[in-house]
Amino acid sequence: MTSSSGGKAALRAGGQNVSVALWRSMRPGQWQKNLIAFAPLLFSAGSGWDSSDGALAVRLFGWASLAFVVLCLAASGGYLLNDARDVGADRLHPTKQDRPIAGGLLPIDGAIASGLGLIFAALTIAAYVSAPLFYTIGAYALVTIAYTLMLRRFAGLDVVAVATGFVLRVVAGAEVIDMPVSSWILVCTALGAAYVVLVKRAQERQLLHDEADEHRASQRVYGESGAACAARGVALVTVVAYAMYTWMAPNLPANHAMVVTVPLVAFGLVRYRVTAMRSPERNADELIARDPVLLLTVAIFAIVAFVVLTMAR
| Number of neighbouring beta carbons within 10 Å of residue 8 | 10
Provide the pLDDT for residue 13: 40
Contact indicator for 18, 110 with CB cutoff of 8 Å: yes
Dump pLDDT digits (tens) for 182-209.
999 999 999 999 999 999 888 888 877 6
Read off the pTM. 0.90
Residues 6+ apart with CB under 8 A from 109: none
SS3 content of the chain, % helix, strand, coil (to 5): 80, 0, 20
Angle of CA points 214, 218, 223, to nearest 5°: 80
The answer to whether residue 8 scores a pLDDT higher than 50 is no
Dump pLDDT digits (tens) for 37-63.
999 999 999 888 888 888 999 999 999
Phi, psi of 160 (to 5 degrees): -60, -40
Q: 169: pLDDT confidence band, cut at 50, 70 and 90? A: very high
Residue type, 218: S
On average, the pLDDT of the chain sits at: 88
Among candidates 31, 149, 20, 138, which has minimal Cα distance to 81? 149
Q: 16: pLDDT confidence band, cut at 50, 70 and 90? A: low
Contact indicator for 262, 243 with CB cutoff of 8 Å: yes
Highest mean pLDDT among 11-20, 101-110, 222-231: 101-110
Alpha carbons 27 and 22: distance in angstroms, whole number: 9
Instruction: Output 204 or 301, whichever has higher pLDDT.
Output: 301
Which one of 1.10.1740.10, 3.40.50.300, 1.10.357.140, 3.30.1330.40 gives the CATH number of domain 33-180? 1.10.357.140
**Beta partners for 49?**
45
Q: Taking the CA atoms of the chain, what radius of gyration do you get in angstroms? A: 21
Provide the pLDDT for residue 38: 97
For residue 6, with 0-12 CB atoms within 10 Å meaning exposed, 13-18 middle and 19 or more buried, which class applies?
A: exposed
Concatenate the DSSP letters of all residues of 168-199 into one string: HHHHHHHHHTT----HHHHHHHHHHHHHHHHH
Dump pLDDT digits (tens) for 209-264.
666 656 677 777 777 678 889 999 999 999 999 999 999 998 898 899 999 999 99
Provide the pLDDT for residue 10: 37
Residues 6+ apart with CB under 8 A from 74: 118, 119, 122, 123, 137, 140, 141, 144
Provide the pLDDT for residue 12: 45
